[in-house]
Amino acid sequence: MKKTVIAFLIFFIHLNAPVFGQTPQVPRIIEFAGITLKLNEAARKDIQADVDAQYRSASHFQVKLDRVNLYLPIVERVLREEGVPEDFKFLVIQESSLISDAVSTSNAVGFWQFKKGTAEEVFLRVDNEVDERKSIVSATRGAARYLKKHQKYLDNWATTLVSYQMGLGGARRYYDDKYKGHRSMDITRGTYWYLKKFLAHKIAYQAQLGKMVSNGDYLHEYSIKGPTNLKAVAKTLGVSENHLKEYNKWCLKGNIPGDKTYTITYIVKGIVPERPLLASNPPSTNNAGLLASSTNASGFPKITGNLGNAKQANQIKINGIKGIIAISNNQSELAIQAGISEGKLRRVNDLKAADPIQPGAYYYTKNKKSKAKTPEHVVQPGETLWEISQRYGIRKHSLMAKNRIYKDEQLLPGMVLRLRKYYKKDESIKRVKLSPVPVQGTEPRNEPRTQPSPQPAQPRVEVSPIKKDPVPTIPKETKEAYQEYQVKPGDTLYSISRAFAVTVEELRRWNNIGEDNLLSVGQKLEIRK
C-alpha cells in the first residue's frame, strides 16, 4: 500500500511539474530600466511566491507563454521606437496576460488595460467602430506615451511603473519625490505591491522569451489605410475573414476607417519570430505563378546569431556577413542604427542614394563576398540582379561578371546563374524550364506567400543555349495582345507591375481597379502588351 501511495505521488508531481525546468529563482539584485534594485530577503520571498504561482500549472504557463512570444516582438519594437525601456514589455503580461479584449472590474479594456478617457488622452480611438485598446500596436504606443509623460515628472522608471497603476498624482503623493533621479533603490516587504508583482513577471518570463510559439505561429503586421473592410483585406492577404476578426478585435464591425493608417495583424505559420523576409527577396518574386523544376538552394539567406536582438548592430550574420534588421525606411536612420556611415551602408548593400529601405528587412553592415556559398540560382519571374545578390551575399558586380549579364532586362525566367564560378566566354548560359504551379482554386489560403511551394517529385529539366544578345528575346507569351494572370496570396499591384514591366496605373486601368488597390486571391488580371 505504501509503495502504491509513493508511486502515485511521484506521478502526480511529475504530471504537474513545469516543462521548462526549474522555476527561476529571484536574485538579490535586479537591473530594471537602468535602475539597480536591491532586494532584501523578505522582498525576495514575496516575489518568489508570485514567480512560483506563474509556474504552478505547466499547461497554463505554456498557453500564456505562447501569447507572450507571439505578441512581445511587436511590443519590444514599439517601446523602442517610442524611447521607453524594453523592460516595460513585462508590464503588458501583468496587465492583461496579452488577451486583446480583456476587461477589468473597473472597466479597463485591452492589452494595456486603458479606461476610455485615458485611452483618448493618449490619442487612441475608442468608439462604436474602432477600439484601439484591443490593438497590440496602437495600445502599446499609447502605453508608451502615458509612461513617458509620467517619467518627465518622476524621473525614475520604477516609480513611473507604479504610476501606471495609481496615476501620476497618486505616485507623486505616495513617493513625494523620494526617488526622483535615483538610479538605485532598496526593495523591501513594504515596497508597493504593484512593483513587486511586476518584478515577478520579469523573472518568470525573461528566460523564456525569443522562442518559437509551440505551434509555429508568427504574428505578422500589415499596415493599411481605409476606407476598406476586413473581408477585402482577407482576400488580399490570403487568409480567412474570421482569422482577421480573431486577431484584430479592435475593428469592431469589420470596417477600417480612412482617418489614419491602422495595423492589421495575422498569423503566419511556421516562421520564426525576428526572421522577416530579406529585402532582396520579397514574397512577390514569384508573381508569374511559376516554380523552378530545378530547385534553388534552400535556406538562403542563412541567418545566424542573436536573433532576439537582430535590430541591434553586431548581433546577427546574414550568410556569414554581419547584418541588421531595419526599423526605418530611411537610409540615414538605418546607418545610425547600424553604427556605420551612409556611404558604407550603400556600398555594402549595392544601394543607390535614392533607394528606399524596407522596414523589417535584413541589410548587410559589412562587405558582401565575391562568391556565394551555393553554386547556382535559377532566375524566377520578376527577380532583379540586386535581389539575387542580396539573397546570397554576393557583390552585385561579381554576380554580373560571372554571368556576363549587366542589366535586369537581360534576366529571363529559368536562367541558371552561377554564384561561384564564371561562365566561359564562349559558353552559353544554361536555362531550365519552369513549370506552372498547380492552381488551388479561388478560395483564400491560410498560408501567406512567404511559405515555399512544394517542388515536383521528378522535375523535368530542359537545357537550351541562350544567346548573349544585347537585348533578350521577349518571351512568347508577352507577344500576344494580352495575357491573363491569377492573383496569388501576398501579391500587390506594385509587385505584379514589376514582374510584367508595366505600371500600377496601367494595371488599374486595364482591370477597373479602384483607388484602394485591393486585389482578391484568385482574381484574374489582364496584362496587356
Instruction: State how beta strands 321-325 and 316-318 pair.
Output: antiparallel
pLDDT value of position 288: 27
Question: Over the chain, what is the mean pLDDT?
Answer: 79
pLDDT value of position 216: 62
Which pLDDT tens digit goes with each residue over 355-368? 888 877 889 999 99
* CB atoms closer than 10 angstroms to residue 120: 15
pLDDT value of position 192: 95
Nearest by Cα to 507 from 478, 481, 485: 485
pLDDT (average), residues 97-124: 93
Cell of 523: 482574381
pLDDT value of position 282: 35
| More confident of the two residues 497 and 276 | 497
Phi/psi of residue 61, each to 5°?
-65, -40
> Residue 5's pLDDT band (boundaries 50, 70, 90)?
very low
pLDDT (average), residues 56-77: 88
CA–CA distance, 160 with 165 (Å, rounded to integer): 9
Q: What is the CATH number of domain 21-125+135-208?
A: 1.10.530.10
Which pLDDT tens digit goes with each residue over 126-166? 999 999 999 999 999 999 999 999 999 999 999 999 999 99
Q: Is 35 helix (H, G, I), strand (E, B) or coil?
A: strand
DSSP string of 446-475? Answer: SS-TTSPPPPPSS-----------SSPPPP
Type of residue at 62: Q
Which pLDDT tens digit goes with each residue over 312-332? 888 899 999 999 988 877 888
pLDDT value of position 16: 42
pLDDT above 60 for 222: yes
pLDDT value of position 307: 75
Instruction: State how beta strands 416-418 and 228-229 pair.
Output: unpaired
- Indicate whether this model's pTM tops 0.75: no
End-to-end CA, the chain: 86
pLDDT above 90 for 428: no
Fold category of 217-269 in CATH: Membrane-bound Lytic Murein Transglycosylase D; Chain A (3.10.350)
B/e letters for 348-378, b = 16+ CB within 10 Å, e = fewer, are bbbbeeeeebbbbbbbbbbebbebbbbebbb
pLDDT above 90 for 124: yes
Torsional class of 113: left (φ above 0), alpha (ψ -120 to 50), beta (otherwise): left
Share of the chain above pLDDT 70, in %: 77
Under DSSP, the state recorded for 431 is B
Instruction: State how beta strands 321-325 and 362-364 pair.
Output: antiparallel
Domain 286-418 top-level CATH class: alpha beta
Q: How far is CA 278 from the centre of its chain?
A: 11
| Contacts of residue 279, Cβ cutoff 8 Å, sequence gap at least 6 | 326, 357, 358, 361, 362, 363, 390
Residue 373: half-sphere exposure toward Cβ, Cα within 13 Å: 15
The residue with cell 530542359 is 462
pLDDT (average), residues 83-102: 94
60-66: Cβ within 8 A, 24+ apart:
61/18, 61/20, 62/19, 62/214, 64/93, 64/97, 64/98, 65/205, 65/208, 65/211, 66/213, 66/214, 66/215, 66/217
The answer to whether the 21-125+135-208 and 286-418 domains have the same CATH topology is no
pLDDT value of position 336: 85
pLDDT value of position 361: 81
> Residue 529's pLDDT band (boundaries 50, 70, 90)?
low
pLDDT above 90 for 97: yes
The residue with cell 535614392 is 354
pLDDT above 80 for 285: no
* CB atoms closer than 10 angstroms to residue 2: 6
pLDDT above 70 for 286: no
pLDDT above 70 for 430: yes
Per domain, the residue ranges of the chain are 21-125+135-208, 217-269, 286-418, 474-529
Which pLDDT tens digit goes with each residue over 175-212? 998 999 999 999 999 999 999 999 999 999 987 776 65
| Neighbouring-strand partners of residue 184 | 36
pLDDT value of position 215: 58
pLDDT (average), residues 385-398: 92
B/e letters for 157-187, b = 16+ CB within 10 Å, e = fewer, are bbbbbbbbbeebeebbeebeeebeeeeebeb
Nearest by Cα to 350 from 314, 311, 405, 389: 389
Q: Which CATH superfamily is domain 474-529 in?
A: LysM domain (3.10.350.10)
Cell of 311: 535590430
- HEC-encoded secondary structure of 118-176: HHHHCCCCECCCEEHHHCHHHHHHHHHHHHHHHHHHHCCHHHHHHHHHHHHHHHHHHHC
* CB atoms closer than 10 angstroms to residue 455: 15
pLDDT above 50 for 461: no
pLDDT value of position 515: 56
| Contacts of residue 92, Cβ cutoff 8 Å, sequence gap at least 6 | 71, 72, 75, 98, 111, 112, 140, 143
Task: Count the helices and strands in the chain (H runs, E runs).
Answer: 16, 17
Least confident of 130-134, 166-170, 258-262, 377-381: 377-381
| Contacts of residue 449, Cβ cutoff 8 Å, sequence gap at least 6 | 238, 283, 284, 286, 488, 489, 490, 491
Type of residue at 14: H
Phi/psi of residue 376, each to 5°?
-140, 165
> Residue 9's pLDDT band (boundaries 50, 70, 90)?
very low
pLDDT value of position 323: 93
